[in-house]
């Protein structure tokens, strides 16, 4: 546990010490729902709204859907599609991205009995509208997310209180016209969450997004993050 948090501290110090940085503050909102239709199949639906300032400039909207395959009790494979609209301040215009993705996600008990570690590997195929080149450019990208959930307290009415430490790396694969950097971006999240009967979870926290643009200064976005996660069991009830 100590080594884990030491690694998080080193990562924060590394990001904070980067040179030629541009800083922004913002608000990120997210919703993700899991709908389970059988022991093997379900769907994932997600929407995100990202802003600079206190909703002063809407910089990105993301909509993601996927088909879940529950291959083991703690392991899920997902394939899906995402539509992304991103604001380009230089052109004062939004550009579109179509994205297909494949994902492997599994979790296990962490170092202590009251914590869980989740690992998520995601491969993306991205078709991004380039306003500068006036064409669609393609990129493959690998993402790895590590998420630790730490149980803090049991509350009344089947509620519980927990903490989250999460980090995600974005690594472009192969040659492309979007970026030649090894690390595209990094997202570090520190949050507190409220769990309602393991069906609805609300998380509020700080999200640090480090961006490594192709031909500009590094960008660090300091975001207030509010996320809602829901799980629905829609499997038919067995007849008695």
**DSSP output for the chain:** -HHHHHHHHHHHHHHHT-SSEEEEEEEEEEEEEEEE-SSSEEEEEEEEEEEETTTTEEEEEEEEEEEEEEEETTEEEEEEEEEEEEEETTTTEEEEEEEEEEEEEEEEE-SSTTEEEEEEEEEEEEEEEETTTTEEEEEEEEEEEEEEEEEEEE-STTEEEEEEEEEEEEEEESS-SS---S--EEEEEEEEEEEETTTEEEEEEEEEEEE--SSS-EEEEEEEEEEEEEEEE-PPPPP-
Least confident segment among 103-107, 130-134, 165-169, 211-215? 211-215
- Threshold 0.85, pTM exceeds: yes
pLDDT at 175: 79
pLDDT at 10: 52
Phi, psi (deg, nearest 5) at residue 7: -65, -40
Asked if residue 147 has pLDDT above 80, the reply is: yes
pLDDT at 111: 72
Between residues 74 and 174, which one has the greater pLDDT?
Answer: 74
> What are the structure tokens assigned to 4, written together?
């884990």
In terms of average pLDDT, the best of 3-12, 95-104, 178-187 is 95-104
Query: Distance between CA 176 and CA 20 in Å, rounded?
Result: 24
Asked if residue 239 has pLDDT above 60, the reply is: no
- Contact at 8 Å (CB) between 212 and 221? no
pLDDT at 179: 75
57-85 pLDDT tens trace: 999 999 999 999 999 999 999 999 999 99
pLDDT at 216: 66
pLDDT at 7: 54
Mean pLDDT confidence for 135-156: 95
Percent of the chain with pLDDT strictly greater than 90 = 73
Is the sign of the CA dihedral 229, 52, 61, 68 positive or negative?
negative
């Amino acid at each position: 546990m100590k080594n884990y948090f030491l690694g998080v501290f080193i990562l924060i110090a590394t990001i904070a010490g980067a040179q030629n940085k541009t800083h922004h503050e913002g608000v990120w909102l997210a919703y993700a729902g899991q709908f389970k239709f059988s022991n093997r199949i379900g769907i994932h639906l997600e929407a995100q709204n990202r802003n600079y300032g206190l909703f002063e400039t809407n910089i990105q909207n993301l909509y993601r859907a996927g088909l879940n395959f529950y291959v083991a009790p703690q392991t899920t494979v997902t394939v899906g599609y995402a539509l992304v609209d991103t604001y380009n301040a230089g052109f004062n215009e939004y550009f579109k991205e179509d994205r297909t993705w494949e994902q492997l996600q599994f979790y296990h008990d962490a170092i202590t009995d009251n914590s869980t570690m989740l690992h998520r590997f995601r491969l993306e195929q991205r078709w991004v509208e380039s306003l500068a080149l006036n064409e669609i450019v393609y990129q493959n990208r690998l993402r790895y997310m590590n998420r630790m959930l730490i149980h803090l307290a049991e509350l009344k009415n089947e509620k519980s209180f927990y903490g989250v430490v999460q980090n995600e790396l974005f690594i472009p694969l192969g040659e492309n016209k979007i970026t030649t950097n090894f690390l595209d971006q990094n997202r570090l999240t520190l949050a507190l969450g409220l769990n309602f009967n393991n069906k609805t979870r609300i998380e509020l926290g700080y999200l640090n997004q480090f961006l490594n643009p192709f031909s500009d200064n590094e960008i660090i976005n300091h975001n207030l993050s509010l996320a809602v996660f829901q799980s629905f069991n829609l499997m038919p009830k067995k007849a008695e």
